[in-house]
Amino acid sequence: MSTHHATTTHPAPPSLAPRLPDVVRPDPVPLVTGRFVEYAQLDHAASTPALESVVRAVATATRTYSSVHRGTGWLSRVTSAHYEAAREEVARFVGARADDVVVFTRATTDATNLLARALPAGTPVVVFAAEHHASLLPWPAERTHRLPVPSSPEEVLGRLESALVALAGGPAPLVVVTGASNVTGELWPVERVARVARRHGARVLLDAAQLVAHRRVDLAALDVDWVAFSGHKLHAPFGTGALVGRRDWLDAADPYLAGGGASAAVTEAVTTWATGAARHEGGSPNVLGAVALAAACAAVRRHRGAIEAHEAHLTTRLLEGLRAVPGVRTHSTFGDDHDRVPVVAFTVEGLDSHLVAAALSAEHGIGVRAGKFCAHPLVDALLARDGDGRHSTAVRASAGLATTGEHVDRLVAAVADLAAHGPRVAYRQDPDAGWVPEDDARVAEVALPW
């Protein structure tokens, strides 16, 4: 954690805009004061806005949309080709090996639950309490070994080593590890975790939901067995994710969704299930979601260098700006200087985190998140560790492709004003909506898009 108050100046970032993929931008948003401002998107860790190229790809595929795999009409052939080409693009994006399988799912949570359903009988699971609930909760409770929130990468490796030694002689364990924390943005030592796991015959699932939009993931180079991630955190908000990796456990498991597509042959007496991805993609698939995910993967892959440079500048600007505000405390698992994607959790002395988030939205047009971010054990541990007993939740600012330097500066200035003076308008707690301005003339009903 940090309470550093040094004044920092920021040199202008290099001109990267022409090399960054274009993001769909919303119309200006209303403030409680009656003004309209450009929306400051600092909630990328929850969901990312679509890329323009993703929207175009979906529009193109919609014009030929038809059934997948089992139709003989021309449009069915085109749609099936789109779907399988999307699978190849996703495989390329995460460095899949030649015999790996790509299963399209709804999101990271769905992908992780699919693998949990495919665990061989008796398989123990080792997971840190620092994980997102999607990686923490799907596993059989009686066979899950939950390790405490660590304070350093060395502690990660030491605790993992001890846990795997204790499990020696039994079935090969599964180790679950995040690539980047959804709370603090910090990178976990995935490659080193994989090496420890290999020494003990364990397999590794990488939760890359918070990583793939920001850093390159390569299954083969990292030597992990599976990777799970979501389109809605990769600028493809069309309801698709993926589980990519080894096929043996998946081919041996019962289908995730029993039905058409998952079955190879059905008689009165016997059902023969398909193998490969089809085994767990029962029913008509989300073709447009798969196209969206593939389009996002292709764009991010092509622009990876520019994206990383853009986000490195935003991360520095965000961290240094918040740490310079008196009364603001940032929270870290591995320490202030640990490498991270542009995600920062912080608290403001004397202010409820949900009130801070509400004021940032209503008074400044800034989107952030407040709470425990579906990572309750981690947030509880960080707040307790940092001696922040007056807070039970935190604020999370998460930047990305839709974030500009002005957005970050606006956030820092707004947080500084809140820390010094509190909200500029009165708020009340609504039982359903949380903190809301007492006097809010903005239109309550949102116009539907259809």
| CA dihedral sign, ordered 327, 328, 330, 335 | negative
From residue 296, give the alpha-carbon distance in Å to each of 23, 58, 167, 239, 302. 11, 11, 40, 13, 10
Residues 217, 180: contact at Cβ < 8 Å?
no
Residues 262, 281: contact at Cβ < 8 Å?
yes
Cα distance between residue 324 and residue 7, in whole Å: 6
N-terminal to C-terminal alpha carbon distance within the chain: 46
> Hey, what are 184's tokens?
């603090």
Specify the amino acid at residue 230.
Answer: S
The number of CA neighbours under 13 Å toward the Cβ of 361 is 20
> Hey, what are 92's tokens?
């390329």
Q: Which of 20, 172, 374, 425 is catalytic?
A: 374
Residues 328, 394: contact at Cβ < 8 Å?
no
Instruction: Centre a 10 Å sphere on the Cβ of residue 169 and count the other Cβ atoms it contains.
Output: 5
From residue 266, give the alpha-carbon distance in Å to each of 61, 119, 193. 32, 25, 43
Q: How many helices (H) and strands (E) does the chain have?
A: 13, 19
Q: Is 374 a catalytic residue?
A: yes
Q: Which H helix or E strand runs over 312?
A: helix 304-323
Q: Is 431 exposed, middle or buried (0-12, 13-18, 19+ CB in 10 A)?
A: exposed
Q: Which H helix or E strand runs over 125?
A: strand 125-128
Specify the amino acid at residue 108.
Answer: T
Cα distance between residue 241 and residue 233, in whole Å: 9
Residue 111 CA to its chain's centroid (Å): 13
Nearest C-alpha neighbor of 183 from the set 415, 393, 400, 364: 393
DSSP notation for 227-247: EEEEGGGTT--SS-EEEEE-S
Residues 29, 407: contact at Cβ < 8 Å?
no
Cα distance between residue 419 and residue 414, in whole Å: 9
Nearest C-alpha neighbor of 237 from the set 31, 47, 448: 47
Q: Which residues does the annotation mark as catalytic?
A: 374
